[in-house]
Structure 1
Amino acid sequence: MTDDDATKVEWREWGPEAFEEARRTGKPVLLSLVTPWSGDSKAMDAATYSEPRVAANVNDGFVPVRADADRRPRVRERYNMGGFPSTVFLTPEGTVLTGATFLAVDGFRGILDSVRKTWDGKGEDAGSVPRALRNAAPTGGEVTPRIEEHMVEQLLAAYDDEFGGWGSDVKFPLPRTIEFALVRARDQATRTLDAVQTHLLDTYDGGFYRYATNRNWGSAVREKLTDENGALVRAFAHGYRYTGDETYRDSAAQTVEYLTTDCWTGDAFAASQGGDPEYYTLEPTDREQADAPPVDGTVFADRNGLAIDGLLTFAAYTDDERALRYAERAREHVVDTLVDGGEVTHYDTGTETGPSGLLTDQARVLGALTTSWQVQGEPGPAREIADWTIEHLRDDSGAFRDGPTEGPGLLDRPLYPLDTSVELADALLSLSLLTGDDRYREVAHDAVAAFGAAAERMGVEVAHFASTAARLLSPSVIEVGAPAGSDLHRAALRLADHESVVVPDADCRGEARVVTDGTVEGTADSPAGLEAVLTEDRG
């Protein structure tokens, strides 16, 4: 969180009391949505909110509310203006008057005057509801092979042949898109991995920066988020699995070391590290004498879920003991402290407990546990989390809400996020294949189908939607009749397509069985035999 004491604004906490004050006084709400890792959040505090006349104007004419976007994901999803800080002006009922991101003093004064005039002239009628919250559940559709075909077309259309990656402006690493491309457009995937490790990997301290502001991957934005780093560990591990390129393994290993040192709290993975450009542009010898940007030590369930998933995937391909050990410790901590009867709590610092039952936490922790089941034979409370999520967050349409429909502002309106719904569907499908329970596959199918009508409008940023649709249509499993850690199991992990599921301790004693959509394609009783079966199948 930014240092509220550094500003002269009298911030209220996000909650019903602030909105009740706005109704009682007839003032609009100024919501400052910030994150601990955002340099612009700190800069706006120092440059704008600390200016006495600006602060006086805010304190007198508005109800100023500050919310940590990392700790309140449902607030973030409803009011994010495209970056942090998000500066959002609301009616007392929580509808949006206007908003922006960073504002310097002059720009902020102008928007204050404009909002004041609009509010005085129209009142609540001036507010609007964001488009994603205006409608009920998604319109629905079908899961067809066309979804995958369309996404391959999008890869070809959006790929940057000169610099790698997708798009012609800002470059994000898009780890899930890389994974989709690894089995459908491998040259695109590997050239993007090359660009990401060349331009976004911090080769001194380890870890990946968030994104690059230029098409050629220049001018990196240097914050490091644990979930993004966990996802990139997984993408580079898959890249190593398909190509044998040791640089991909090295990049993943450096990031594992970063996550398990700088981002390790002693129990699990911390949330993020700030991106001070002055520090990160220092020469290595000068960095040794400088203070590194601060780390937010909050243990978030969703971010740990992605980190655990990434480390276990890397360990599956490499037998890396460090990755395995820290993933186990983080998993145990999250399960012991943040999971209760299948309901996942976003965070618990000991003095402050976050919201519970958020789709992002349910989905990502479930994903980590299905990977844990495949790699270590350790399912944890995977079924309980899946069952709780289905019971409490699923609508009659088959779509999933992002959390409980309660709270101030627009939190009482349901939101159906595509990306998190796909993460959940992906994990539910894996759970179905691990357990043999078709109900989870059916629920996953309905969750993806809920967005089927919009598939032709989707871009490469949501390639995970297409890979999950493809898995649903033709799920692939390697059932291993041997315990996790056995030679046959370890071979299956290394040889399986990364969109397949490996089931240890299956009922085919002493054999590995390759199954596609319920049909046995071949069996083997040794790693070499399994490789022969899979090679023949691929040929």
Structure 2
Amino acid sequence: MTAGRTHVEWRGWGAAPFEEARSADRPVLLSLTATWCDSCHEMDGETYAEPRIAANVNDGFVPVRVDVDRRPRIRERYNMGGFPSTVFCTPDGDVITGAGYLGPDGMRQVLDSVREVWADRGDDAGRVPRALAGDPTPGGTVDERIEEHLAGQLDEQWDDRFGGWGDDAKFPLPQTVEFALKRDRPKATQTLRAIAESLIDHDAGGFYRYAAARDWSEPEREKLLTDNAALIRAFANGYLYTGEESLLNPATGAQEFLTDRLWNGAAFGGSVAPPDDDSEPRRDHTGYAGGNALAAEALLTVAAYTDDEASREYAERVLRTLEESFVDDGVVSHIAPSDVGADDPDPPAGLLEDHARVIAAFATARQVLGPDALPVDPLTVAGTVADEAIETLQEPAGAFRDGPPQGVGLVSEPLRPLDGTVEVADALVDLAAVADVVDDPEADSDGHRSDDYAAAAHDAVAAFAGAWDRFGVQVAGYGSVASRLTRPNLVVAVGDGAGSDLHRAGLRVADHEAVVVPAAPNTPEGVATIHRGADRRDATAPEELLDAVAALTDG
């Protein structure tokens, strides 16, 4: 398999190249790249295209090329701090050494060094990174200290001069912004304005990935679906709290970028690379489950607050594609079947991140669209995917693995990601609240098991709670879901269907974590029941609903 302008005889990921390396007694050269990564393409053109280096690689190593968007579990295990990542492995997949970008001279030195180490030590030269050693996660108690600590970190790590958090490169941190919207709104809105000023491509649309400088300058100009979707949701939630059109406009602008530049006819593609001087920007039109689920949730959020028909239409189209093409008996495929290539016949499935985002998207769809807008009730899809994730990915101690416990190389080693835990736990909290409203308490075991979803979310968060005092703002989402587990959710059950005045009023309550359920089976038509724990109030008009929410919130 040849990539770009290189002369290297690349193999695709799988068991075969590692078996070849064992048989030939050679190390594996693993190259991690991405379509959107300019440095990856530069290394192809400057290093791997050099004939003597390519010959050296082909003769002394088994070269394997991996697209990190298509294989996220390999990305998380072999990433050397950015892309490209150049990793040398034993035939078992253990890491000998690794680096990022290597020019021709650096590559020659590393190739010689690895060859000498391999000749001297063989398999003993490899190691399994500590994060994959199988040590238990730092379990603890889920209580108010987690939220309080992370709320304090909003101050501790705040950049008074330029806004945002940290004093180096500025990442947009949309989950941190959403955490701050409820706890330190001025910092959240100031950060959103900095993002809008510095990370929006005002010519072609969409958000850049991050800024390399503290003052939000020097943007890295690749544009990823996941980043844009998360920021659409964050800006929409900023608009929910403030009513400021200046915070809604970036969300709708990024939505136009998604529909104009990434739509492939059935779903959104994964990325757009920075444009070359002499060519159009590279686009990855591959449909990825997690990115599309995140986009659907973001567009539903916009539709919920604005009644925007385009947002609703594209969200529905994506959800239909996810249900029809990605989800099979609860298992979520990472890549759309139509995007599976002949050189990658065994694409990943059952990944935690994909499951978490699909659960969240369909739980949100049940709240915004109701039970009948899609061919299958969204709650059914969310519940089936949640059941599969809990059964196959959650360990007895509560932590979730990032995928099935088998695979080539380090993929077989356990990885329990904190960010994935945050996403799946938050999705399960939403799902539990919706299912609690919808399910008949007399239902048999085929019901949606709201108590089980809540318990799974609690156990997942508890699996990391022993380290709460070491977390920073980058994982502020952990504080959000912990707070939802330590106090009752605000729930609005609406007897009327989706789109009614009471439903629309419920969606626009100034709390982006509120759960709003239209067509609630145990609520009379014309009535909305608002409750937080055991405290309940009824409303028959939007004004009464808002008053009831205010009373419960103040209380």
Q: TM-score range by the shorter chain?
A: over 0.9
Equivalent of residue 366 in structure 2, options 366, 373, 398: 373
Q: Using the alignment, how far apart are the partners of 1:227 and 1:382 within structure 2?
A: 20
Q: Which residue of 1 aligns with 2:550?
A: 535
Q: Tell whether 2:456 aligns with 1:443.
A: yes
Q: Which residue of 1 aligns with 2:504?
A: 490
Q: Using the alignment, how far apart are the partners of 1:296 and 1:172 within structure 2?
A: 22
What is the identity, as a one-letter code, of the residue corresponding to 2:429?
Answer: L
Q: Tell whether 2:353 aligns with 1:360.
A: yes
Deviation at 1:137, TM superposition (A): 3.9
Q: Which residue of 1 aligns with 2:131?
A: 132
Q: Which residue of 2 aligns with 1:460?
A: 473
Q: Tell whether 2:323 aligns with 1:335.
A: yes
Equivalent of residue 539 in structure 2, options 524, 531, 538: 524
Deviations 1:16-72 (A, max 9, x none): 111111111111110001111111111100000001111111111111111111111
Q: Which residue of 1 aligns with 2:444?
A: none
Q: Which residue of 2 aligns with 1:57?
A: 56
Deviations 1:295-339 (A, max 9, x none): 111000000011001110011111111111001001101110111
Q: Using the alignment, how far apart are the partners of 2:425 and 2:58 within structure 1?
A: 45
**Alpha-carbon distance change, 277 to 176 in structure 1, aligned in 2, over 3 angstroms:** farther
Aligned positions of 1:208-357 closer than 5 A:
208-276=207-275, 278=277, 291-350=279-338, 351-352=340-341, 354-357=347-350
Q: Using the alignment, how far apart are the partners of 1:316 and 1:342 within structure 2?
A: 27
Q: Tell whether 2:494 aligns with 1:480.
A: yes
Q: Using the alignment, how far apart are the partners of 1:494 and 1:386 within structure 2?
A: 27
Deviation at 1:534, TM superposition (A): 2.1
Deviation at 1:521, TM superposition (A): 4.0
- Percent of paired sites with the same residue: 52
**Kept after mapping to 2: 8 A contact 1:315/1:321:** yes
**Alpha-carbon distance change, 16 to 293 in structure 1, aligned in 2, over 3 angstroms:** same
What is the identity, as a one-letter code, of the residue corresponding to 1:536?
Answer: A
**Kept after mapping to 2: 8 A contact 1:400/1:416:** yes
Q: Using the alignment, how far apart are the partners of 1:429 and 1:43 within structure 2?
A: 44
**Kept after mapping to 2: 8 A contact 1:136/1:414:** no
Q: Which residue of 2 aligns with 1:512?
A: 528
Deviations 1:377-411 (A, max 9, x none): 14421111111111111111111111111111111
Q: Which residue of 2 aligns with 1:15?
A: 14
Q: Which residue of 1 aligns with 2:161?
A: 162
Q: Which residue of 1 aligns with 2:426?
A: 426
Deviation at 1:5, TM superposition (A): 4.7
Q: Using the alignment, how far apart are the partners of 1:21 and 1:527 within structure 2?
A: 67
Q: Which residue of 1 aligns with 2:447?
A: none
Deviation at 1:216, TM superposition (A): 0.2
**Kept after mapping to 1: 8 A contact 2:401/2:415:** yes
Q: Which residue of 1 aligns with 2:93?
A: 94
**Kept after mapping to 1: 8 A contact 2:32/2:67:** yes
**Kept after mapping to 2: 8 A contact 1:39/1:276:** no
**Kept after mapping to 1: 8 A contact 2:134/2:413:** no
Q: Using the alignment, how far apart are the partners of 2:223 and 2:318 within structure 1?
A: 19
SS at match of 2:265: coil
Deviation at 1:139, TM superposition (A): 3.2
Deviation at 1:349, TM superposition (A): 4.2
Deviations 1:168-204 (A, max 9, x none): 0010000000000001011110110000000001122
Deviation at 1:476, TM superposition (A): 2.1
Deviation at 1:116, TM superposition (A): 1.8
Deviations 1:457-500 (A, max 9, x none): 11111111110000111122122222111110000000141112
**Alpha-carbon distance change, 258 to 3 in structure 1, aligned in 2, over 3 angstroms:** farther
What is the identity, as a one-letter code, of the residue corresponding to 2:548?
Answer: V
**Kept after mapping to 1: 8 A contact 2:535/2:552:** no
Deviation at 1:208, TM superposition (A): 0.2
What is the identity, as a one-letter code, of the residue corresponding to 2:284?
Answer: D
SS at match of 1:71: coil
What is the identity, as a one-letter code, of the residue corresponding to 2:428?
Answer: L
Q: Using the alignment, how far apart are the partners of 1:537 and 1:41 within structure 2?
A: 53
SS at match of 1:495: coil
Task: Give the unaligned 5+ runs of structure 1.
Answer: 279-289
SS at match of 2:411: coil
**Kept after mapping to 1: 8 A contact 2:275/2:282:** no
Q: Which residue of 2 aligns with 1:471?
A: 484
Deviation at 1:513, TM superposition (A): 2.0
Q: Using the alignment, how far apart are the partners of 1:274 and 1:205 within structure 2?
A: 12
**Alpha-carbon distance change, 146 to 118 in structure 1, aligned in 2, over 3 angstroms:** same
Q: Which residue of 2 aligns with 1:152?
A: 151
Q: Using the alignment, how far apart are the partners of 1:244 and 1:466 within structure 2?
A: 25
Q: Which residue of 2 aligns with 1:390?
A: 390
Task: Give the unaligned 5+ runs of structure 2.
Answer: 372-376, 437-449
SS at match of 1:214: coil
**Kept after mapping to 2: 8 A contact 1:513/1:520:** no
Q: Using the alignment, how far apart are the partners of 2:413 and 2:552 within structure 1?
A: 48
What is the identity, as a one-letter code, of the residue corresponding to 2:507?
Answer: L
Query: Would you say how many aligned residue pairs link Structure 1 and Structure 2?
Result: 526
**Alpha-carbon distance change, 472 to 465 in structure 1, aligned in 2, over 3 angstroms:** same
Deviation at 1:131, TM superposition (A): 1.6
Q: Which residue of 2 aligns with 1:414?
A: 414
What is the identity, as a one-letter code, of the residue corresponding to 2:388?
Answer: W
**Kept after mapping to 1: 8 A contact 2:289/2:336:** no
What is the identity, as a one-letter code, of the residue corresponding to 2:527?
Answer: E
Deviation at 1:291, TM superposition (A): 4.9
What is the identity, as a one-letter code, of the residue corresponding to 2:400?
Answer: F
Q: Which residue of 2 aligns with 1:283?
A: none
SS at match of 2:410: coil
SS at match of 2:31: strand
Deviation at 1:277, TM superposition (A): 6.5
TM-score, normalised via structure 1 length: 0.95
Q: Which residue of 1 aligns with 2:443?
A: none
What is the identity, as a one-letter code, of the residue corresponding to 1:403?
Answer: G
Q: Which residue of 1 aligns with 2:75?
A: 76
Q: Tell whether 2:510 aligns with 1:501.
A: no
**Kept after mapping to 1: 8 A contact 2:299/2:315:** yes
Q: Using the alignment, how far apart are the partners of 2:369 and 2:40 within structure 1?
A: 41
Aligned positions of 1:6-45 closer than 5 A:
6-45=5-44
Deviations 1:235-290 (A, max 9, x none): 00000111111111111110111111111111111111112365xxxxxxxxxxx8
Q: Using the alignment, how far apart are the partners of 1:342 and 1:458 within structure 2?
A: 32
Q: Using the alignment, how far apart are the partners of 1:357 and 1:135 within structure 2?
A: 20
TM-score, normalised via structure 2 length: 0.92
